[in-house]
A and B are shown apart, each in its own frame.
Chain A
């Protein structure tokens, strides 16, 4: 493809919720203050946790009421509301076919009805890159003028089914999630929802609240190697990052919010990609040591945190990182680092060898905060 730059897209009105925090700002402040990582999620998640988290996140991202009839909704998730699926699996219905099973798309229609969003609705499920993929797809719909505004909501709840799966894969840490540390031994799971409003950069939604940043570039690429293990050579991630950087100078990336799961292979792959692409030493951080791996929600919630990094001009430290395996890289650890930043790269990778990368920056001539 040609190396042309495409129009930037606006991401604004960020909402986020976890069982501990009810807004993106509170999550960022808690991370910045060095709050301890969350405990292991309970085997049985709180009743209606899916509804609670998605409601808190989407409420912050909604356009004005007069715009909602034509505003679309993309839900990014790996499994949707698993409490409903688990109830179905545990019932005789699943064994004997007595009822129609719950389907992923039911979740997005229910949310659209609840919030009166009448535009196109879709679910995107590309494993742990779902959040970034949904943002990219919303941006593509804006760019092709298929729709003027899209709310993107990303959510997952780490209930019994998901916990059992990651324990079965031996992917869960026995101690604490330690992204990029020599002692890292696995991920910690978390539950979350996050949302934002996606519009063209020229369109400034009336009544826009909170932070507003530019989506300046994006890329997606598959490893085409293995269903669960990332490509050791990081070929897919490197391609995705180079696509996202099309027309930009890699030296203009001030910081990178990495996927940083705390698993042996993911973190090694990402370190390899950073070493290969950047000749300078951008600040490197990752949120999963603090948030846990929130699966399909992770991309959008971490984009919301990037918006706060750009607003506050500070890079939070990687929770759990004490002894970096790659000391030549500029990981932020122990305490936050204040730094002038205009542009931050966000990456995500998921099962199936799916990789996505986006470049986020400050909108030309605008302040980030609209409060």
Chain B
């Protein structure tokens, strides 16, 4: 992995708290969406779309349209399209099954919001959406890094997207989750306009023999704060997260600031 895959930027937002990490990005940039996460209603189906679009705009500063043509998008999600499932279901009940809202139905896939990003930003590389309870963002980042390391693509956006309202969000500090974490990964010389900010030293998923019989922990996805901590020190040297997926695999991500 060393000398192969680099992190150029990382952006994130959970509720109203934005996170930015990149050489070329201003540390005092304004919050990308001061509405998202704070005043969500259950019918604001585009809250995660708005948040992820604004953050992606930041992430892709200095990346040309031609470079986006082959860029991959690897996204992990815990809740997937469950919020939109509820909205379509409500339409089925209100309007009668087969006369329910087609606009709502077309959003009932975990890949819908990532697909919207491909359309908005002209991303035409591979798209993979992973569903994972504990480590959706790390899983996506690790898999994207391994694709780049294997020479299968030059660059990718990888991270996690989640949106769910009310008490279903088993998050201790919020009645809703609207959370985006995205990083830009690429080879060393992928971009001429921007410089990498950190090097990926290790990105792997390891399985522990026989642990699949363990129950999956019910807590909220823990990798978002872990990744934010990983990248939050401006003078970091080498930092590593070992995140237990709780279901037979451990995600390991180690980065070194350049």
Contacts and interface: CB of A to CB of B under 8 A. Distances in A.
Interface of A: 1-2, 4, 69-70, 72, 78-79, 85-86, 89, 94, 96-101, 103-106, 109, 112-113, 116-127, 133, 136-137, 140-141, 143-144, 146-147, 160-161, 163-170, 220-228, 235-236, 239, 350-354
Contact of B131 (A100, A103, A160): A103
Contacts of B125: 220-222
A85 B127 CA distance: 25
Contact of B101 (A133, A168, A351): A168
Contact of B152 (A1, A118, A146): A1
A120 to B, nearest CB: 5
B139 interface: yes
A229 to B, nearest CB: 10
Contacts of A85: 82, 85
Contacts, number: 213
Contacts of A166: 105
A123 to B, nearest CB: 4
A164 B126 contact: no
Given A1-B152, A101-B79, A147-B207, A352 B114 contact: yes
A68 B210 CA distance: 9
B167 A104 contact: no
Nearest to B175: A97
B86 A94 contact: yes
A160 B146 CA distance: 39
Interface in B203-217: 204-213, 216
B212 A109 contact: yes
Interface stretch (B15-23, B92-100, B228-236): B92-100
A106 B151 CA distance: 32
A209 to B, nearest CB: 23
A169 B102 contact: yes
8 contacts: A94-B86, A101-B79, A103-B131, A118-B248, A122-B130, A123-B131, A140-B146, A222-B126
Q: Is the interface of B mostly helix, strand, loop or mixed?
A: mixed
Contacts of A69: 209-210
Contacts of A120: 205-207, 248-249
Given A121-B247, A125-B110, A140-B143, 9 more contacts: A70-B207, A86-B89, A97-B167, A105-B131, A140-B152, A161-B89, A224-B119, A227-B119, A235-B124
B146 A165 contact: no
A140 B207 contact: no
B166 interface: yes
Q: Give the bracket for the number of chain B residues in contact with chain A.
A: 35 or more
B54 interface: no
Nearest to A100: B170
Contact of A169 (B106, B112, B207): B106
Contact of A125 (B85, B129, B152): B129
A222 B146 contact: no
A122 B139 contact: yes
B115 interface: yes
B153 interface: yes
Given A1-B152, A167-B97, A352 B118 contact: yes
Contacts of B79: 101, 103
B111 A228 contact: no
A126 B129 contact: yes
A100 B123 contact: no
Contact of B126 (A2, A220, A352): A220
Given A69-B210, A168-B98, A121 B151 contact: no
B143 A125 contact: no
A103 B92 contact: no
A78 B100 contact: no
Interface string B69-86: 010010000111010011
Contacts of B118: 222-224, 352-353
Given A97-B168, A103-B79, A121-B248, A164 B97 contact: yes
A2 B128 CA distance: 22
A169 B86 CA distance: 18
A103 B115 contact: no
A222 B248 contact: no
Please provide the 8 A-B residue pairs with the shortest distance between their CB atoms, ordered closest to farther: A352-B115, A97-B167, A220-B126, A165-B105, A104-B131, A167-B98, A123-B131, A97-B166
